[in-house]
Amino acid sequence: MHELSIAMSMIEMAAEEAVRRGGVRVHAIHLKLGELSGVVREALLFSYEVACGGTPLEGSRLVIEEVPVMVYCPSCRAEAAIISVQQFCCAVCHAPASQIVQGQELEVTALEIE
């Protein structure tokens, strides 16, 4: 369960950004969360709420955009979705494909501030 420490570093990052922008209030953090980031969405949402307590971000929201895995398929010679994370095969032609082009993100993309 490493989601709590991840939530805490996001909050810290957002709080620093808020100070840099002249002490604005952060209403929400927008996060891109890859399917292969190793972070569980529900655990992160729960941890976020807990970790916000007593910080300048108390009461703020975490808005998660989930990013599915995409691979480069060598037989289609194109980016493609996979059948599932349990089956790394091109969803189009079913050839095995291991070169990941997206799905590992754990990235704060934006803040809602005022």
Give the interface with other proteins as residue ranges (CB under 8 A): 1-2, 5-6, 9-10, 13, 17, 21, 25, 27-28, 30-31, 36-39, 59, 85-89, 96-98, 100, 106-114
Q: Closest separation between CB of residue 108 and other proteins, Å?
A: 5
For other proteins, the closer CB: 54 or 99: 99
**Residue the block writes with tokens 């895995």:** 69
Q: Closest separation between CB of residue 31 and other proteins, Å?
A: 7
For other proteins, the closer CB: 43 or 54: 43
Backbone angles phi, psi at 38, to 5 degrees: 85, 10
How far is residue 59's CA from residue 49's CA, in Å, rounded to a whole number? 8
How far is residue 65's CA from residue 33's CA, in Å, rounded to a whole number? 6
Return the structure tokens found at 15. Answer: 């709080």
For other proteins, the closer CB: 54 or 103: 103
For other proteins, the closer CB: 25 or 54: 25
Closest CA to 6 of 35, 39, 42: 39
Total number of residues shown for the chain: 114
How far is residue 93's CA from residue 44's CA, in Å, rounded to a whole number? 34
